[in-house]
Structure 1
């Protein structure tokens, strides 16, 4: 959908995010609906402008014919897989890091983590 291009997320604390997992990227500051209108945030907040459009894109994204279709891929995914939110999304076959994704898909799945369930006792108030 593109970073800050189609939708936004308002977190329970009022932070406005251009993508639901954007908080995973360090160094970004997110405006709050308590301090500014959604319209102002959408059009003017630096975090919404950071990866909007195509000017920020590195090669091969910048010259790719799909740049206006996939908008350079997922910024959160690029950060998690490449360590840089501005990197070419490693899921793209044009990414220099795409081989990592291919190799990961060939690896057998690891042991699933067991879930731990907890029961919380809520004290009853006599009344």
Structure 2
């Protein structure tokens, strides 16, 4: 049987401080992580993330989501079960454990800019031999 306690959940924040810019974040996964299995995206201003945001995300130079991938496709609402609030990416070996994101803010008529935070959650397995 597999238990949730062998999944490392990490949070990484990226501050979006000006409109129509690209912001890059580079983050290190926990050194005990063996495989990345999922990613989630949220914000302190979900409306701005939904309407204004696109990004590119990669792990160890392996592209997971291409440039200008819409944030709305990586978000989940409160009507989604907490156990289903991540995008499953398979079992990507974490290697040196580097996650990179290039987040692009763009004008949108339904969302006036104000500084906001984009949060990336990663879900990594410590050991996948028991699956």
TM-score per shorter chain, which class? Answer: under 0.3
Higher RCO (CA-CA < 8 Å; seq separation 6+): 2
Q: Return the structure number with greater helix share.
A: 1
Instruction: Return the TM-score normalized by structure 2.
Output: 0.21
Instruction: Return the TM-score normalized by structure 1.
Output: 0.21
Greater C-alpha radius of gyration = 1
Q: Return the structure number with greater strand share.
A: 2
